[in-house]
Structure 1
Amino acid sequence: MATSFDEHERSMWAGKATAFERSVGDLCAYPTDQLLDAADVGNGCRVLDVGTGTGTVAARAVGRGAAVVAVDAEPSMLDVVRRRVPEAEVRQAVLPDLPFSDGCFDAAVSNFVINHVGDPAATIAALRRVVRRGGRIAVTIWPYPQPPAQSLWRQVFDAAGAQRPTEMLALPEDKDFARTEDGLSGLLREAGLDDVRCAVVSWVHRVDPEDWWSGPANGIGMAGFMMRSQSPSVIARIRREYDRAIAVHLDGDGLLALPAAALLASGTV
């Protein structure tokens, strides 16, 4: 059942496929191979890619010889996946309601999706339901404390005096979990998964400064929601603070070099 948090997330991502690809698509793509390795996705594996976005994980799984079913709640994302990964079966689905029978997949993967649902535990339980006994589930989330790739925006908004909109939603305490190795591992164990493993994946994300700015400027994620709630004068201040903050992260070819990290957890059904 969709919660108010889910509805809030759906509205934020509506029609955002192109903006997502330009701004954070490459950032989210980085742990794809580790994610598929953790779920034992290979030739002949029937895998469900939940929250496929623009299909990066689905495409990589197809390249490994897997039979892929890719689902997402956002139609603009699915349009991209149908063009990009014609070999995949592409369907719309809103977590935690997955329109599949019990145990019909060998594996399920979810790349940076658990942090966007109103009931993370119910989502993991839904993945467990559709994966066969002995199959693997692997998920990624953004950690807390945030690395510079994410925390940069909080610093910029604070320096610009941006006000947090009152309608921003957070998970209820009874649905939330710690964005740490222990917190994510616990979420998987509580869903009944065995052989749970969790590790930090770290890298340096290199991106054009204008592409990085384009994410919040086009309403991507919570930073985008923050940006769009500000007045034009505050947005101008945010841009000035952004230009000041990124100076220390620019490398010799003018790209940003931002330390990034993800939590990658997996378990056996």
Structure 2
Amino acid sequence: MTNAEAYDRGFAQLSSHTVGPLLDRACAPRLLDVGCGTGVVTAAALALGAQVTAVDVNPVMLELTARRHPYATIRQAALPDLPFEDEEFDAIAGNFIINHVPDTARALKELHRVLRPGGTLALTWWKSDEMTATNVFSDAIAAAEVPYQPPARPFTGDDTPQRFTELLEEAGFQGAAVETLRWRHRVDLAAWWTDIVQASGPRFAVIARQPPETVERIRAHYLRLAAPYEREGFPVCAYLAHATRSPRESVGREQYA
């Protein structure tokens, strides 16, 4: 299981760069933070005065979020099936969760169902070929000649702005658009290594499973490959999609059966 504290120090800090733009597009009195992780979106939305319902599949993440944010409603759930009534939320924000769901189209239809007419949706995902901050780990594993088969990415066929806009429209949203966000992630390289390896996510759990001498060999390659980014930070790119549910419609769950 993912180490939530390590995840919070590592991946959550990386993903926090998009929270402001995400909530600029989708923040309203009744907000659903879908795939909340350790609560970076929840924290920011609460500070803006929203009533936040935060959901995630990982109970350890939810425990940490609940402890930090007692005024949020915490539920364990995962797309594409959410335990909510039709039209329950005024806005939905999902920070780097849509790229993890097994069926993008079904997930978007479910988000459409629980959003009220006129409500807003905002979702982010990584531009995978511009994710130096994490790709450097994959490159280090390869350089160390460790056999490694990365987990399948079911979202790959849906991750272009054009395709994702089409899926939003097919799910019933209107005004769909995708923005590109770029930034530099400045971090202590040794701490970044420790937090990513300890978090043991699906892509990099292979590192911690290696014998100590192999782990050290991967780390040496990581430090070599990461060194050019030590001063200015890793270049990172993400997409931010936003759309609205038509204010004139009211469609029940049966549409998606």
Unaligned runs of 5+ in 1: 1-13
CA distance, structure 1, for counterparts of residue 199 and residue 241 of structure 2: 28
Superposed CA offset, 1:166-191 (max 9, x none): xx54256xx75242222332332222
The root-mean-square deviation of aligned C-alpha atoms, in Å, is 1.8
- Within a 5 Å distance, the mapping from 1:79-90 to structure 2 comes to 79-90=63-74
CA distance, structure 2, for counterparts of residue 55 and residue 63 of structure 1: 12
2:148 alignment counterpart: 164
Contact kept, 8 Å, 1:161 with 1:234, in 2: the verdict is no
2:92 alignment counterpart: 108
Give the residue type in structure 2 aligned to 1:100: F
CA distance, structure 2, for counterparts of residue 131 and residue 58 of structure 1: 17
Superposed CA offset, 1:141-169 (max 9, x none): 1113233223222221221112114xx54
Q: 2:207 aligns with which of 227, 230, 234?
A: 227
Q: Which runs of 4+ in 1 moved over 4 A?
A: none
2:224 alignment counterpart: 244
Q: 1:200 aligns with which of 164, 174, 180?
A: 180
Q: Shift of the alpha carbon at 1:205? A: 0.6
Residue 75, structure 1, aligned to residue 62, structure 2 = no
Q: Shift of the alpha carbon at 1:15? A: 4.4
1:24 alignment counterpart: 11
CA distance, structure 2, for counterparts of residue 139 and residue 106 of structure 1: 15
2:111 alignment counterpart: 127
Superposed CA offset, 1:104-149 (max 9, x none): 1111111001111211221111111100111111100111323322
CA distance, structure 2, for counterparts of residue 110 and residue 178 of structure 1: 16
CA distance, structure 2, for counterparts of residue 86 and residue 216 of structure 1: 27
- Within a 5 Å distance, the mapping from 1:40-51 to structure 2 comes to 41-42=27-28, 45-51=29-35
CA distance, structure 1, for counterparts of residue 164 and residue 201 of structure 2: 21
CA distance, structure 1, for counterparts of residue 116 and residue 124 of structure 2: 21
Contact kept, 8 Å, 1:38 with 1:138, in 2: the verdict is yes
Q: Shift of the alpha carbon at 1:29? A: 0.8
Superposed CA offset, 1:30-55 (max 9, x none): 1101101111x14xx11110011111
TM-score by length of 2: 0.88
Give the residue type in structure 1 aligned to 2:237: A
CA distance, structure 1, for counterparts of residue 92 and residue 54 of structure 2: 10
CA distance, structure 1, for counterparts of residue 186 and residue 58 of structure 2: 27
CA distance, structure 2, for counterparts of residue 216 and residue 27 of structure 1: 11
- 1:28 is paired with a residue whose SS is helix
Residue 63, structure 1, aligned to residue 47, structure 2 = yes
Q: Shift of the alpha carbon at 1:26? A: 0.8
Give the residue type in structure 1 aligned to 2:24: D
Equivalent pairs counted in the alignment come to 245
2:238 alignment counterpart: 262
Q: 2:131 aligns with which of 130, 142, 147?
A: 147
Distance 1:230 1:15, change over 3 A: closer
